[in-house]
Structure 1
């Protein structure tokens, strides 16, 4: 899944910085929390064939189940995540992880589509809400100058969790069934919860910027564990200025902003269609369930490596060109995935390539947005872009269920979902900040 470096992380508070046990522990916890996110969101695609068979679900109903957590992620990111600025990142992370744990365990005993949709929506709300706090935590405790590396490492936990979940479910699904798979996912969260409570301190950024009760003592306690000198006084409190949404369109950014929104909607539409349906479609293409789950796992592995490789290429060759190339290449791979009925090895390879191009290319949109918006409005610009873009994440799996239910063939279905990737690539070429006029 895709995230961005929070603007609140500060080097001066983090101090001289060494790889202390506390830094390593916090970053590891952030990696694990992102892995749990990947597990919780993607697990439904892995158990979909078993669930569809057990409940005799229509494609439309299955699409609704897929989209419930994605819609919840949008709501959680927009309305729950800001509570971290008021109550702190640590308590919000602990509360939301508790909700995820309980909800996942309850969902393993769901008896109807309605129950499962509601529970999946609650899981999505929780995951969407604490993503930003987890990412900020990783940046907070990174050694100065290593923020980007540490955040990327923490974010990679999402794909790692998705891949490991796929490999595990492929092996144990015949024994566990879909109920057991969801139970095990809930137990993983349950085991992680006490580790988070014991290890995770409050965010350095939150303590220094918001300055809640006993902030100086709490901040100095953390600095002591980092091997840094105590602070005599807190830094001046930063009063956040509310940024108007209209500012993201100012100074010639109207066309680039609209292009960014269109690109993210289109990219999300196809990406989350693939995330949700690739296992079920592989079964319909003739693969055994365990091999189809491996296809889903390789899709997520492709996203992990694609993010790293394409991010590196973008530094050398430019974001617009790399994003366009990745999206168009993804369209070709998606179309080929639908038209080629070949060996298992080729199918798995195409699944990997689909993840590499669609997920890896999509993550470039975060960097495009960061380039487009100046620092003072960057959070607002990226937040709105991703919030609007979630429309595509919800529509993609739902529309897929409707089209499959109407009897559309897999080759034609994949051709349809290749089109949004081309649109996303073309739109990416328009996401470019206007250069300010040179000073006289």
Structure 2
């Protein structure tokens, strides 16, 4: 029971209460947003052979259709991240869903390859702003003791959406052509935006920082604890005090955040480079090795299935062990399993197992990295921190999406090619190891950041 006329830290309020259906609803709604990102990312890889055949493109000419969407994701994350800290998580999420939905529907009717590239960029803009805000909103309603597990479980929407994108593309392309995949991927977020106007709440921490009326804040907190006495209570957020009074982007480079920011950026860059390279080019690489398109699609889908299970397992471990070292070990294993794919392309079942294990380690670990970044940054610049980590990571995703064509054109054999592909995961593992020692050294300063100071 809160004491009238006292000051209540909303973070502590959320941490000491049990998880309620209201918080589960938020995680589910954000899960669906992230699933749209995963669906779109995977679907473009599966429709690429049809696009290539329609416009008679070489592998290198096909690269921009991957790169345009990913460049949009990068620009959207960098552009919309600070806006989410200014206008609120909910408003920006709704706007991003509309941008993405309209652009994807328009891309389904693209009359030329050039138009398709432009519309894929616009689609990426919407997705780039939506995903970091979804991660942040979920994180800000999760108690610290379960934050990594709940955020990584929510982020499984990406891997589930990616798996669904593969299965849906395999069916839709045969029945209705590749354009139907983009059409479905655009109609769904437009319908979601209409529902989310009423169903999605605003972050209670944002409301406190933005000085919303206490009655609105109290109403949100009573959905977590209906019996709380919040009459006359003044609300605060403890972790706002960290950082300078300057711009939100500038706060990422204050002395207590700078090293962590740079290490997170390196991790996201390497992790997303590997994920998008595999998602964009693995079907074609397997097809080049002699697998049918159907077999290639099914084997690649195992990457997302593994990522889903890996995210849940890693999130559970991150709440119990040092999260940085959990991620470091998983990244190193991801590099090993990725390299193994190149030696197993002649056996679809063995290749599927290796792809599954690579997904457990790298796609699952990326979910954990998002949870870690949301826990690392204070609430008044959290969307900016998560968005910029993802935005910098998108540079890696663009490089990965383009690298596949060049690697195919270079004529490398599959063992050598996949050994090279696995190297970014090793680098990400090293960055997470250094990050873990960095947090240990500054444990006292970082202890208010829930979920990090193990």
Structure-1 residue corresponding to 2:102: 102
Which runs of no fewer than 5 residues in structure 1 stay unpaired? 1-8
Q: Measure, in 2, the Cα distance between the counterparts of 1:437 and 1:23.
A: 29
Structure-2 residue corresponding to 1:342: 346
Q: 1:285 aligns with which of 276, 286, 289?
A: 289
For these two proteins, the number of residue pairs brought into alignment is: 427
Q: Measure, in 2, the Cα distance between the counterparts of 1:307 and 1:79.
A: 27
Structure-1 residue corresponding to 2:245: 241
Following superposition, the deviation at residue 195 of structure 1 comes to 1.6
Structure-2 residue corresponding to 1:308: 312
TM-score normalized by structure 2? 0.81
Give the direction of change, closer, same or farther, for the CA distance of 1:296–1:251 in structure 2 (3 Å limit). same
Following superposition, the deviation at residue 383 of structure 1 comes to 5.5
Give yes or no for contact 2:374–2:386 (8 Å, CA) kept in 1.
yes
Give the direction of change, closer, same or farther, for the CA distance of 1:315–1:188 in structure 2 (3 Å limit). closer
Whether 1:435 aligns to 2:441 is yes
Q: Measure, in 1, the Cα distance between the counterparts of 2:217 and 2:251.
A: 36
Q: Measure, in 1, the Cα distance between the counterparts of 2:194 and 2:381.
A: 37
- The alignment partner of 1:235 has SS state of strand
Q: Measure, in 1, the Cα distance between the counterparts of 2:131 and 2:45.
A: 21
Provide Cα deviations, 1:169-223, integer angstroms capped at 9, x if missing partner: 22332102110111111222233222212312332222222024xx334334445
Give yes or no for contact 1:48–1:279 (8 Å, CA) kept in 2.
no
Structure-1 residue corresponding to 2:363: 359
Give the direction of change, closer, same or farther, for the CA distance of 1:350–1:22 in structure 2 (3 Å limit). same
Give yes or no for contact 1:46–1:296 (8 Å, CA) kept in 2.
no
Q: Measure, in 2, the Cα distance between the counterparts of 1:149 and 1:317.
A: 12
- The alignment partner of 2:42 has SS state of helix
Following superposition, the deviation at residue 299 of structure 1 comes to 0.6
Provide Cα deviations, 1:113-154, integer angstroms capped at 9, x if missing partner: 322222222222211212232223324444685444432332
Q: Measure, in 1, the Cα distance between the counterparts of 2:269 and 2:198.
A: 39
Provide Cα deviations, 1:217-247, integer angstroms capped at 9, x if missing partner: 4334445655355543553696883367597
Give the direction of change, closer, same or farther, for the CA distance of 1:151–1:370 in structure 2 (3 Å limit). closer
- The alignment partner of 1:211 has SS state of coil
Q: Measure, in 1, the Cα distance between the counterparts of 2:18 and 2:261.
A: 39
RMSD over aligned Cα atoms: 3.5
Structure-1 residue corresponding to 2:427: 423
- The alignment partner of 1:430 has SS state of helix
Structure-2 residue corresponding to 1:329: 333
Structure-2 residue corresponding to 1:46: 46
Give yes or no for contact 2:264–2:389 (8 Å, CA) kept in 1.
yes
Give yes or no for contact 2:89–2:202 (8 Å, CA) kept in 1.
yes
Give yes or no for contact 1:58–1:405 (8 Å, CA) kept in 2.
no
Following superposition, the deviation at residue 250 of structure 1 comes to 4.0
Give the direction of change, closer, same or farther, for the CA distance of 1:415–1:110 in structure 2 (3 Å limit). same
Structure-2 residue corresponding to 1:134: 134
Following superposition, the deviation at residue 107 of structure 1 comes to 0.7
Q: Measure, in 2, the Cα distance between the counterparts of 1:354 and 1:337.
A: 9
Q: Measure, in 2, the Cα distance between the counterparts of 1:103 and 1:82.
A: 23
Give the direction of change, closer, same or farther, for the CA distance of 1:247–1:89 in structure 2 (3 Å limit). closer
Give the direction of change, closer, same or farther, for the CA distance of 1:219–1:426 in structure 2 (3 Å limit). closer
Provide Cα deviations, 1:339-366, integer angstroms capped at 9, x if missing partner: 3233322222222122122223445545
Structure-2 residue corresponding to 1:294: 298
Structure-2 residue corresponding to 1:276: 280
Q: Measure, in 1, the Cα distance between the counterparts of 2:117 and 2:380.
A: 38
Following superposition, the deviation at residue 97 of structure 1 comes to 0.7
Deviates more, 1:384-393 or 1:365-374: 365-374
